[in-house]
């Protein structure tokens, strides 16, 4: 007989532990894949390209995301090297995922004689939608929260997950929700701009500026992000994303009036 039991981070079906974090990531990947398959031909690519590029992007993003997290918690992983492979328990850095995915896509494009910027313009914006979904994995893992608060939308954090300086606090800012909401809003704005401008050539620049801004804002509400001394690494990385996105526009690498996306 199959029994279903629920815990904060996973549920059991017989002997199997199904982690909510993993389900959120799987759902975000499924929605992202659906979007690419639905729109790929409209961007001038063959439909058969979707499966290949998704596999390349997923593997390279996963490697990059995990490496970023490991570097941010290096003392712990040096003491517990076996935990490096426990991805289902959390520990993926979005900045590492972005760099890893971009590197994988660029290498793939070179091998297939595809212009990387054109493909990145297509693949980057729906990452905002995927991130909006995937961030809810932080809720189930009780991570990615902010400082203590008594606001109506506060989230309860178990004692074992609280930072030492807030051990006597119970409710915290749901920073994962802030990022999820802002990413969803930013994706909606992208769809509106794409239709308004009648252009598909600004996707990468838009994503870099939008997510860089979102992450810079939410860093103020994060307690568990990577720091060197007292500096949150997310701040300079966010600014680099914004600067690079603006650079794409300023140097005329994109053309907002173009419909054929010749970049």
pLDDT of 92:
82
Whole-Å CA distances, 170 to 25, 157, 163, 167, 259: 27, 6, 11, 8, 52
Looking at mean pLDDT, say which of 72-76, 98-102, 157-161 comes out highest: 98-102
pLDDT of 90:
65
Q: Are 61 and 71 in contact (CB under 8 A)?
A: no
Confidence of residue 2 (pLDDT cuts 50, 70, 90): very low
- Going edge to edge, which strands form the sheet with 4-6? 4-6, 10-13, 16-19
On the question of pLDDT at 173 being above 50, the answer is: yes
pLDDT of 3:
38
- How many domains does the chain fold into? 1
How are beta strands 10-13 and 4-6 bridged, if at all? Answer: antiparallel
More confident residue, 47 or 261: 47
pLDDT 10s digits, 13-67: 778 878 888 899 899 999 999 999 999 999 989 888 999 999 999 999 999 999 9
255 inside domain: no
pLDDT of 255:
53
On the question of pLDDT at 184 being above 80, the answer is: yes
HSE-CB at 127 with a 13 A cutoff on CA atoms is 27
261 inside domain: no
Angle separating helix axes 126-134 and 20-39, nearest 10 degrees? 160
Confidence of residue 166 (pLDDT cuts 50, 70, 90): very high
pLDDT of 88:
67
Q: Which of 7-11, 176-180, 186-190, 202-206 has the lowest mean pLDDT?
A: 7-11
Q: Are 166 and 148 in contact (CB under 8 A)?
A: yes
Q: In whole angstroms, what separates CA 151 from the centre of its chain?
A: 26
On the question of pLDDT at 157 being above 80, the answer is: yes
Domain limits at 161?
A: 4-250
pLDDT 10s digits, 208-246: 999 999 999 999 999 888 888 889 999 999 999 999 999
263 inside domain: no
256 inside domain: no
Whole-angstrom Cα distance, residue 98 to residue 105? 11
- List all residues 6 or more positions away from 6 whose beta carbon is below 8 Å from its beta carbon: none
């Amino acid at each position: 007989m199959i029994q279903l039991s629920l815990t904060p981070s996973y549920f059991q079906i017989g002997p199997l532990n199904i982690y909510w974090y993993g389900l959120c990531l799987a759902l975000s990947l499924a929605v992202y894949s659906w979007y690419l398959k639905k729109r790929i031909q409209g961007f001038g690519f063959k439909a058969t390209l979707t499966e290949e590029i998704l596999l390349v992007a997923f593997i390279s993003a996963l490697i990059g995301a995990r490496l970023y997290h490991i570097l941010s918690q290096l003392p712990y992983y040096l003491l517990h090297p076996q935990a490096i492979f426990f991805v289902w328990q959390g520990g993926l850095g979005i900045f590492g995922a972005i760099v890893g995915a971009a590197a994988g896509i660029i290498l793939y494009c070179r091998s297939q004689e595809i212009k990387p910027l054109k493909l990145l313009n297509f693949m980057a914006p729906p990452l905002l939608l995927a991130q909006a979904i995937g961030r809810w994995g932080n809720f189930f893992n009780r991570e990615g929260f902010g400082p203590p608060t008594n606001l109506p939308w506060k989230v309860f954090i178990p004692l074992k997950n609280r930072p030492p300086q807030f051990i006597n606090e119970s409710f915290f800012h749901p920073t994962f929700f802030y990022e999820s909401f802002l990413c969803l809003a930013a994706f909606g704005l992208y769809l509106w701009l794409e239709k308004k401008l009648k252009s598909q050539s600004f996707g990468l620049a838009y994503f870099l500026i939008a997510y860089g801004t979102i992450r810079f804002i939410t860093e103020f509400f994060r307690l568990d992000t990577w720091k060197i001394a007292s500096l949150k690494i997310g701040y300079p990385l966010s600014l680099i994303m914004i600067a690079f996105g603006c650079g794409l526009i300023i140097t005329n690498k994109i053309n907002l009036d173009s419909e054929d996306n010749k970049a």
